Copies of this chain bind each other. A is one copy, B any other.
């Protein structure tokens, strides 16, 4: 894949105004009767999410001429579903910071955090229902089940080396499933023929897979200040991602890694050594190539759509996904 570095995420440009509408729609879901809850939701919504799921929804929908109002509702639903899963994630991981900003979990009791997540799930579900499409609603609920199911598998599967297939299932559940639902639902709203539905679905799937692989790469290569969490935190928590998998394929005998997998306490593991070895092994570059392969297939799925600013932005988004540094 040709390396086209984007100096900034230009793909947002065609939908900048609509994104503001989506933000307003999301904020309007806070319950004014609950000042604490409303404050928590405003805090979450201003915590600097990239809104890449919002953009991809609006761009695909724009490309196939979906109704704008329903599209805004759908995008708000997708982003709130994502937000709700993050709230429960942070509780589960005990994370006190996300993107360098205190989590709900850091400020509230676990009880309030669980309920805040539940409330946002409820609002996301209401917005999904407001798209007035049963097909969208079914995708929405199925995706929620896939995401949660993946989290449960992850919870019980830490420090387990289960190979590439398991990794692919995990990142599908974590990220690609929602990207796929976003692009498929946007196409559903435009009542396109099934060929276009399949193309939209595939674009979302491939970009989502690429996006999560790069997220996992950035856990090895990113600066703590940019990524918002310590380098190597996945591995430190026992989560084996693609660069680590490639490294182990090359050096199955690595003593430190095998000891970690065998259950040696994390505090006795020399993570700096392990992370250094992984970074020098070429495993990170190999993972980036894998992400590029996904992005490439995403671009191929776009090919037959009519040219226009949305399609061009979706091409840019594919490149951004694999060249971003945060």
Q: Could you tell me which A residues sit within 8 Å of B by CB distance?
A: 31, 33-34, 36-37, 88, 91-92, 110-112, 114-119, 121-123, 125-126, 128-130, 132, 134, 137-138, 140-142, 144-145, 148-149, 151-153, 155-156
Contact = CB atoms under 8 A, between A and B. Distances in A.
B115 A156 contact: no
Contacts of A130: 138
Contacts of A140: 125, 129
A317 B31 CA distance: 34
Given A126-B138, A134-B137, A155 B121 contact: no
B34 A115 contact: no
A110 B88 CA distance: 11
Nearest to A87: B114
B151 A122 contact: no
Contacts of A151: 115, 118
21 contacts: A34-B156, A36-B156, A37-B152, A92-B110, A92-B111, A92-B115, A114-B114, A116-B152, A117-B118, A118-B121, A118-B148, A119-B145, A119-B152, A121-B144, A122-B144, A122-B145, A125-B144, A126-B145, A129-B138, A132-B134, A134-B134
A244 B148 CA distance: 40
